[in-house]
Amino acid sequence: MAVSAVVFDVGNVLYRWSPRALYERLIPEDRALDAFLENVVTTDWHFQHDAGRDFADTSAELIARFPEHRDLILAWQPRFNDTITGVIEGMTELVADLDSAGVPMFGITNFSHEFWPPFRDSEAHLFDRFRDIVVSGDEKLVKPDPAIYALALKRFALAPGEGLFLDDRLDNVDAANANGFVGHHFTDAARARAQIVELGLL
């Protein structure tokens, strides 16, 4: 089956994402910032939101453990967009070129069901070009669970082998390869574009 569509991850494929980008504005001392990100607002804690848990529940649990950091913890949801620091170089142009060429584009992202709508709305100029995006927090399925890839194939009406999937995490790429997609381990726009050209999509 020839590849006919491109499926993007969002964080660190289309947009740079880093919790440090938010908290370095709120915690001026480097050692305190490092400790906070290692022990309080960790990526494992945030991963619960990607899996579909509500911020009200996860923040209450974390504040119970770290009451001295209450205000910093509560900043996570309203200021989540501050963790996203711009489009990765070359990706706006790649998306625009694929759109102009009539190539169907989709997304599979590990993202909170609460945090996704305001971010998506703020970046409508890019995401309006996509036909559909599977959001883990909505589905309560996260990459690299095989079930999220099966759901995406069905939602996007793609046969196995028709979707090129770009992700920065190798475990997600390996799972995509094993579950109906052609995986591309994303490192930069130039390499992604080269594979897309090689596949005849551009």
How many CA within 13 A on the CB side of residue 77?
A: 17
Return mean pLDDT, the chain: 97
Which pLDDT score, from 0 to 100, does residue 172 have? 98
- Phi, psi at 5, each rounded to 5°: -145, 155
Task: Please report, for the chain, the start and end positions of each structural domain, with discontinuous segments joined by +.
Answer: 5-16+85-198, 18-83
* Predicted pLDDT at 52: 98
State the Cα–Cα distance between residues 4 and 93, nearest whole angstrom.
Answer: 19
Architecture of domain 5-16+85-198: 3-Layer(aba) Sandwich (3.40)
pLDDT at 25: 95
Quick check: 14 and 130 in contact, CB under 8 A?
Answer: no
State pLDDT tens for residues 127-148. 999 999 999 999 999 999 999 9
Tens digit of each residue's pLDDT (9 = 90 or more) over 43-78: 999 999 999 999 999 999 999 999 999 999 999 999
Residue 1's pLDDT band (cuts 50, 70, 90): confident
pTM: 0.94
